[in-house]
Amino acid sequence: NEAVLFVRTLGLTIFYTWVTVRKHKVVETGIMAHYRAADSKREQFRRYLEKAGVLDTLTKVLVNLYEEPEKPNNALDFLKQHLGAAGPETADVEVLRLELTELRLKYEAVVEENKELKAKLAQFESSHEEKHGDSRDAHASH
């Protein structure tokens, strides 16, 4: 037996046509029509996610979780962490991390400089008072 199936779509209807041949003779033919319902919103949404690469990305992250030898205590945190790493903004995040590190170093340098300047000011004020006496005492004696 050799069967040949032809499928043709016309609008929302799918036509299946077949021919069965036995010993070079047609023994059966048939046609069947199947009405295909308009795409549901769910199917449209699935295609949207597929086109955007969401399904592929989610699948990869879930496979990574599956292949983890020691499963994390919080699977949701694992997914969030790995989805964030998989996104196109990873470079932006890295730039921001470097900038944050640089700003922290600058902040620490400014805090240290502030301490040094306060110490110098205190030293200057005490040396000034020793040379000129307390101005409040001078005014009180007059």
- For residue 39, what pLDDT is reported? 61
Task: Please report the pLDDT score of residue 112 as a whole number.
Answer: 95
pLDDT value, residue 64: 83
Low-confidence ranges of the chain (pLDDT < 50): 86
Q: Say what the pTM is.
A: 0.35
Rounded-to-10 torsion of CA 127, 133, 134, 140: 180
Predicted confidence at residue 100, as pLDDT, reads: 92
User: What does the pLDDT read at residue 3?
Assistant: 65
36 in helix, strand or coil? coil
Scanning the chain, the segments in alpha helix (DSSP H) are 41-52, 54-67, 75-86, 90-132, 135-141
Between CA 11 and CA 44 the distance in angstroms is: 18
pLDDT of res. 47: 79
Note the pLDDT of residue 96.
86
Q: Sign of torsion, CA 47 48 52 54? A: negative
Q: What is the pLDDT of residues 90-126, one digit of tens each?
A: 667 778 888 999 999 999 999 999 999 999 999 999 8
How far apart CA 42 and CA 53 sit, in angstroms, is 17
Cα-to-chain-centroid distance, residue 111: 35
pLDDT of residue 103: 94
**Residue 81 CB neighbours (<10 A):** 13
Report the residue count for the chain.
Answer: 142
Answer for the pair 44, 26: CB distance below 8 angstroms, yes or no: no
